[in-house]
Chains A and B, each alone.
Chain A
Amino acid sequence: MFGFVVRRLLSSLLVILLASFAVFALFYLGPNNPAQPVCDSAGGSRCTPERLEAIEKSMGLDKPVVVAYGTFMKGIVAGREVTIGAATYDCDAPCLGIAYGSRGEVTEELKGRIVPTILIAVGGSIVYLVIGVTVGIMAAARRGSLGDRLLVSGSLIVSSIPYYLICLLAWLYLTLKTDIFPETGYFPITEDPLKTFSGLLLPCLVLGIASSPVYARYTRGQMVETLGDDYIRTARAKGLGGRTVLLKHGLRAAMVPIVTIFGLDFGILLAGTVFTEKIFGIDGIGRWGLDAISAPQDLPVLTATVLVGAIFIVISNLIVDLVYGALDPRVRLG
């Protein structure tokens, strides 16, 4: 067990390094020159080729990508000085660089933006797990009934509507036109937790409700399969009640694949809920990354979001593997 965790952690580390390097390299080798926006925004004097070259040199863009990546990684461990154009910034470890746009420390900005993303991911997940799994179980218990068929076709309709459209409509009608959710957005949790909650309620509900049909269908499928298994017949033959058979014996077995899928989905959500954050105007990881891709591109921010995303996904994968062993005694890890 311990050996397994160590091996998985090492391979996870490799995945994270590779992901961050890939972004770094793509950015470096891409068609855009990171120094250009810095040169343009210098204000006053025009951006001359000489000036551009000087800025490139100051930013270390003239060096090979491997060297630049090495500098970046060293900064995470020990901190470093970052020069952009004429300005030099002192960046403490763990240093993810200085954002080209805001000229703030990426690490500090990350700390501020990670909280709303986590809150939305957790809130949304709770909503879609509760709704999706409950509805899925009910449909499986009454499979073939009118309610079951309505669920299956209804969930197909909901999941074929683009998510950003649902977000947009919810924001337009529930926040702008009516006062049902008047204050949507992120308010720092350290100041007024109640306001944080009410501000994120709509985004979480929208994210959760839009994702719940997928979970309902998946749960229903798993439950229907499980309820046809021999041990369910055994449970009934013992004289157990319908609810015990369904929720204890049935759900216990159907839960394993659901938890697996959930773990992976949750990791992806933590890496940034792009549409939700963008439309509801929440400064989270997703929106941050989206802005960093749009011109002018912001390499340090982009690298940071990819790094955080990779870490979340790798960790959730690891947790899924460990939880799987706990849930299914047949695959206990040796």
Chain B
Amino acid sequence: MTTTANAPASSSTSGNEPYLVVDDLTVKFPTADGLVHAVSNLSYSVELGKTLGIVGESGSGKSVSSMAVLGLHDTRSARITGSIKVGGQEVVGLSEGKMREMRGNKAAMIFQDALAALHPFFRVGAQLAEAYLVHHPDASKKQARARAVEMLDRVGIPEPHSRVDDYPHQFSGGMRQRVMIAMGLINDPSLLIADEPTTALDVTVQAQILDLLQDLQREFNSAIVMITHDLGVIAEMADDVMVMYSGRAVEYGTVRTIMTKPEMPYTWGLLSSIPDVSSDVNTKMVPIPGTPPSLLTPPPGCAFEPRCTHRDKVAGGLCGTALPELRPASDGHGHLKRCHLTDADSIFQTEVLPDVAPATSEEN
């Protein structure tokens, strides 16, 4: 997945070439307290029709890296290096005018809290029509409105002809998120970045929204980047998963690999933190101790070292002194991990899995 750095830039994407290619992306913010290393040396890619899930805690850099894809950072305050290619076009360093042509058109974004993310004083129809008109300057207002109604209907809003004239606060949370999705998809973008689209919703509504996104993906064949801190959402939606911690990718693989054979202790921690309703009530939910390190002064070694309960298994205190590379894991083939542990797979099977899911480990 990192081999695309030398790939020739082409304006059109063939079937197999990833639509979004992020290579060695670094985002830093100068602040009064010093330079914040929000994202460091991040690389990933997403093909059309595929979904990449990015998981991590707040402050792990998952939203910051995605905002960089749309160039939404303030160019005066963010220092962005590396490369981001959307449909073959380099985005880092692109002029604001060119960037605007892409935003909401080739690549769109759905935000988490739709009540805050929709303008409270404009009717949803006007907000949708505006998103359409800005990329279809020749369309009439009537056409834009018809398109808005069509999209509201497509995302499952009942009576779209009358709801189009309502304000965002007149919708329920789930319906509002549907409006947000309709707005994101109104220009048929090839890339959709969904930044925790279900975080603010009830679980039942969450499932509906995820279903809707999957339906729409099948229909439009778009590439989706799904940002979340919820591994349940990942399991439901993603093809590939990238786990982020403290601004770096710490594990990468197919959703199956990450869910069943994770090899990075932070990923184990995430899995252990999920409450499982179907399991034995005696199963312990194991929270990850401590808090993420400061992004102002990143530790010299592995960023997760202070919180890692397995660091003693690495000889010479290497975890505290040397940053592990993102290397192929023991099962190889596209599974990458940033960890010094050499026998991570067996530690997971013998020590971690019994805590996470006692039933499955007994069967083994």
Contact present for A328 and B121 (CB under 8 Å): yes
Q: Mark A216-252, 1 if CB is under 8 A from B, else 0.
A: 0000000000000111011111111110100001001
B308 at the interface (CB under 8 A from A): no
Contact present for A231 and B118 (CB under 8 Å): yes
Residues from chain A with a CB closer than 8 A to the CB of B100 are 239-241
| Contact-residue size bin, chain B (C-beta under 8 Å from the other chain) | 20 to 34
B109 at the interface (CB under 8 A from A): yes
B135 at the interface (CB under 8 A from A): yes
Closest chain A residue, CB of each to CB of B112: A230
Residues from chain B with a CB closer than 8 A to the CB of A230 are 111, 113, 116-117
Contact present for B134 and A238 (CB under 8 Å): yes
Task: Report the bound CA distance from A238 to B184 in whole Å.
Answer: 8
Residues from chain B with a CB closer than 8 A to the CB of A238 are 103-104, 130-131, 134, 183
Pick the most buried of B101, B121, B122: most chain A CB atoms within 10 A of its CB: B121
Q: A236-B72, A237-B70, A240-B130 are in contact. Are A327 and B121 (CB under 8 A)?
A: yes
Contact present for A252 and B72 (CB under 8 Å): no
Contact of A234 among B96, B117, B134 (CB under 8 A): B117
Q: A239-B101, A242-B96, A330-B169 are in contact. Are A253 and B119 (CB under 8 A)?
A: yes
B120 at the interface (CB under 8 A from A): yes
Residues from chain B with a CB closer than 8 A to the CB of A249 are 119
Residues from chain B with a CB closer than 8 A to the CB of A3 are none
Contact of A231 among B108, B120, B135, B169 (CB under 8 A): B120
Residues from chain B with a CB closer than 8 A to the CB of A236 are 72, 103
B97 → A minimal CB distance (Å): 9
B167 at the interface (CB under 8 A from A): yes
Label chain A's interface by main secondary structure: helix
Q: A238-B130, A239-B103, A240-B130 are in contact. Are A231 and B116 (CB under 8 A)?
A: yes
Closest chain B residue, CB of each to CB of A142: B76
Task: Report the bound CA distance from A237 to B108 in whole Å.
Answer: 7
B102 at the interface (CB under 8 A from A): yes
Contact present for B121 and A234 (CB under 8 Å): no
Closest chain B residue, CB of each to CB of A230: B116
Residues from chain A with a CB closer than 8 A to the CB of B26 are none
A70 at the interface (CB under 8 A from B): no
Residues from chain A with a CB closer than 8 A to the CB of B134 are 238-241, 244
B60 at the interface (CB under 8 A from A): no
Task: Report the bound CA distance from A249 to B105 in whole Å.
Answer: 19
Closest chain A residue, CB of each to CB of B115: A230
Count residues of A near B (Cβ-Cβ below 8 Å).
Answer: 22
Residues from chain B with a CB closer than 8 A to the CB of A43 are none
A272 → B minimal CB distance (Å): 35
Contact present for A234 and B108 (CB under 8 Å): no
A329 at the interface (CB under 8 A from B): yes
Contact present for B101 and A253 (CB under 8 Å): no
Q: Mark B167-192, 1 if CB is under 8 A from A, else 0.
A: 10100000000000001000000000
B301 → A minimal CB distance (Å): 35
Contact present for A329 and B104 (CB under 8 Å): no
Contact present for B102 and A237 (CB under 8 Å): no
Contact present for A234 and B120 (CB under 8 Å): no
Task: Report the bound CA distance from A256 to B103 in whole Å.
Answer: 29
Residues from chain A with a CB closer than 8 A to the CB of B105 are 239
B116 → A minimal CB distance (Å): 4
Contact present for A233 and B119 (CB under 8 Å): no
Residues from chain A with a CB closer than 8 A to the CB of B101 are 239
Residues from chain A with a CB closer than 8 A to the CB of B118 are 231, 234
Q: Mark A61-76, 1 if CB is under 8 A from B, else 0.
A: 0000000000000000
8 Å CB interface, A271-297 against B: none
A14 → B minimal CB distance (Å): 33
Task: Report the bound CA distance from A241 to B95 in whole Å.
Answer: 13
Residues from chain B with a CB closer than 8 A to the CB of A235 are 119
Contact present for A253 and B121 (CB under 8 Å): yes
Contact present for B130 and A233 (CB under 8 Å): no
Q: A237-B103, A239-B100, A240-B100 are in contact. Are A330 and B120 (CB under 8 A)?
A: yes
Contact present for A234 and B130 (CB under 8 Å): no
Residues from chain A with a CB closer than 8 A to the CB of B122 are 252
Contact present for A329 and B121 (CB under 8 Å): yes
Task: Report the bound CA distance from A234 to B70 in whole Å.
Answer: 11
8 Å CB interface, B133-174 against A: 134-135, 167, 169
Task: Report the bound CA distance from A235 to B135 in whole Å.
Answer: 13
A246 → B minimal CB distance (Å): 13
A61 → B minimal CB distance (Å): 56
B220 → A minimal CB distance (Å): 18
A309 → B minimal CB distance (Å): 33
A258 → B minimal CB distance (Å): 14
Closest chain A residue, CB of each to CB of B70: A237
Q: A230-B116, A231-B116, A233-B111 are in contact. Are A239 and B102 (CB under 8 A)?
A: yes
Contact present for B121 and A233 (CB under 8 Å): no
A10 → B minimal CB distance (Å): 30
Q: A234-B111, A253-B121 are in contact. Are A239 and B104 (CB under 8 A)?
A: yes
A243 → B minimal CB distance (Å): 11
Residues from chain B with a CB closer than 8 A to the CB of A229 are 116
Residues from chain B with a CB closer than 8 A to the CB of A233 are 72, 111, 117
Residues from chain B with a CB closer than 8 A to the CB of A328 are 120-121
Contact present for A330 and B111 (CB under 8 Å): no
Task: Report the bound CA distance from A252 to B122 in whole Å.
Answer: 9
Residues of B bordering A, CB below 8 Å: 70, 72, 96, 100-105, 108-109, 111, 113, 116-122, 130-131, 134-135, 167, 169, 183
Residues of A bordering B, CB below 8 Å: 229-231, 233-242, 244, 249, 252-253, 256, 327-330
- Enumerate 5 A-B pairs (CB-CB under 8 Å) in ascending A order: A237-B111, A238-B131, A239-B131, A252-B119, A327-B121
- Going nearest first, the 10 A-B pairs with the smallest beta carbon separation are A239-B103, A239-B104, A230-B116, A238-B104, A231-B119, A238-B131, A230-B117, A329-B167, A237-B109, A234-B117
